[in-house]
Structure 1
Amino acid sequence: MIQLFQVYDREDVTCVEMTTLRKSKVFTFLVDGMLIDTGPQRFESELIPFYQKASFDLVTLTHSHEDHSGNAPWIQENLKVPIYVHSNGIAVCSQPTPYPKYRQDTWGTRREFKALPVSSSIQSREKEWEVIYTPGHADDHISLFHRGTGTLFTGDLFISPKTKVIMRSESIPQTMASIRNLLTYDFGSMFCCHAGYLPDGKMKMKEKLEYLEGICEEVKTLYEKGHSITEIDQLIFGKKYPITAISEGEWDSLHIVTSIVLDI
């Protein structure tokens, strides 16, 4: 399923960009001797030569999902470097393939590994990174911020400015709270694990927040008028995306509406 694999530098960050035939794109980043996310197991044969040549002392996972942690077992077994994740993700990392078949088909089969809990900051070779808890997409999701350079790694918090579908386990109100928290930081360039390098990161994150705030207002207005969640979904989003059928409903615009209504 591999379509594209490329490595390039943006500012002081090495970006590894991977794209599957389904047009799903994911990144892993290397900065100052710290690897941020490991990429999906689907790209193991391409990533191993890169990891063997690259120089890093530790791995920090933005969260435990398989497209971010897929090669953590190989790294742990062969390179013997510590792998850190938010404490909420440690149990998930210890389980073999804790996700459905369609995700295995897309990203590969991630084996279990032992992760360590990340604290409120983490030290790379010459930089100290603030670890910011940013739930919404996942309950073990973190972002990494370097105050000196204004560099921010946001995992899957951004992805795109206009969210159309989310997983059943996600929460739009939590995502919005996490974005508001990040916007209190003085960051410039942003590195997203699905959108890549965004030099105008703060503007992009504000754009996403404004979009989500607009969706929330629409949902609340329609809900107060007596519309059901299904009706609101149809009125706002109007169509179903292929991922909804492929995932047997795990990804759906309906979950956006549901998570907002539950917060009213």
Structure 2
Amino acid sequence: MLLKKTSTAGEKNGVSYLNGEVKSQGVALNVYSYAVDGVLIDTGSQSLHKHFERFIDAADFDQVRLTHFHEDHTGCAAYVEKTKHVPIYISDKSIDSCMQQANYPLYRQLFWGKRKPFHALAMPETFESRNATWYVIDTPGHAHDHKAFLNQETGQLFTGDLYVNERTKLVLAEESIPTIIQSLELVLTYDFQEVFCNHRGFVEEGRLALERKLDYLLGLQQDVLALHQQGNPADSICRQLFPKQYPITKFSEGEWDSLHIVTSILQES
């Protein structure tokens, strides 16, 4: 399978970044790594290691904070461990699994590569960088171990995969819309000015964007439950609310699907 791999580096409001992208057969996936105030936030994917390793080599950091265990965010963590000898932190829920060879579907291995084992320390509730104290905010839903990081000095919030886009149309089979709603509600209780997403990059008017996403998901949840109360099964609700088909649904053999939005709401309500 032919994969086109590219990357773009830059800086925004004191935050250095690399955005790596993989394209194949009409599917395009990307992921960001950020470096700010001596902290590297996520390491990018193993499939793009030539791009992310150059960024890692050039970046000035003395610690790594991982938003969650997914391979596009942790793919170059083993390289950091081998070459930088700095502490790597992740949720304590994922320390053991990260020490093992990652196991995930073939299409994800093709796009993101095979994440090598690495050693990490348990993420505390707060941490210090060179010039700031940071809050670590539990934001599960996309992944069970998901965290967001808030720089109290600058008001910059790094949301991992909590945001991605305002109007969610399909999700991974393991994701939970009700839990994502709770995570958005929690994040919005904090004071922040800027949002950096690990797939969208810098988000203009970040707080408003998160508020709009929360409103959208709350309305979507109401629509799903209303249609269910009218006697519609999950697949019918999905067709009514999400009539468009996305290439990644077929490509991933259903791991990514709009149906998972509906079923997570029905199962947890």
TM range (shorter): over 0.9
Q: Quick check: 1:254 aligned with 2:256?
A: no
Distance 1:129 1:2, change over 3 A: farther
Deviations 1:211-255 (A, max 9, x none): 111111110100111111111111111233111111111111110
The DSSP-based 3-state class of the residue aligned with 2:184 is helix
Deviates more, 1:20-29 or 1:57-66: 20-29
The DSSP-based 3-state class of the residue aligned with 2:93 is helix
Report how far residue 148 of structure 1 moved.
2.5
Deviates more, 1:91-100 or 1:253-262: 91-100
Q: 1:97-112, aligned counterparts within 5 Å? A: 97-112=102-117
Separation of aligned partners in 2, 1:23 and 1:135: 25
Q: Quick check: 1:175 aligned with 2:177?
A: no
Q: Quick check: 1:135 aligned with 2:140?
A: yes
Partner of 1:9: 11
Contact 1:70 / 1:110 at 8 angstroms: preserved in 2?
A: yes
Deviations 1:48-93 (A, max 9, x none): 2222222110100000100000000011011111110011121221
Separation of aligned partners in 2, 1:256 and 1:92: 26
Partner of 2:89: 84
**Aligned counterpart for 2:21 among listed residues 19, 22, 33:** 19
* RMSD of equivalent CA atoms: 1.1
Separation of aligned partners in 2, 1:155 and 1:77: 24
Separation of aligned partners in 1, 2:260 and 2:46: 28
Contact 1:17 / 1:28 at 8 angstroms: preserved in 2?
A: yes
- Paired residues in the alignment total 264
Report how far residue 43 of structure 1 moved.
1.3
Contact 2:5 / 2:48 at 8 angstroms: preserved in 1?
A: no
% same residue: 41
Partner of 2:206: 201
Deviations 1:83-121 (A, max 9, x none): 100111212212212211100101111111111110101
Partner of 2:46: 41
Partner of 1:121: 126
Separation of aligned partners in 2, 1:69 and 1:36: 10
- Tell me which amino acid in the other structure corresponds to 2:220: I
Partner of 1:184: 189
Separation of aligned partners in 2, 1:238 and 1:192: 27
- Tell me which amino acid in the other structure corresponds to 2:12: R
Unaligned segments of structure 1, at least 5 residues: none
Contact 1:6 / 1:17 at 8 angstroms: preserved in 2?
A: yes
Separation of aligned partners in 2, 1:33 and 1:102: 34
Contact 1:2 / 1:43 at 8 angstroms: preserved in 2?
A: no
Report how far residue 150 of structure 1 moved.
1.1
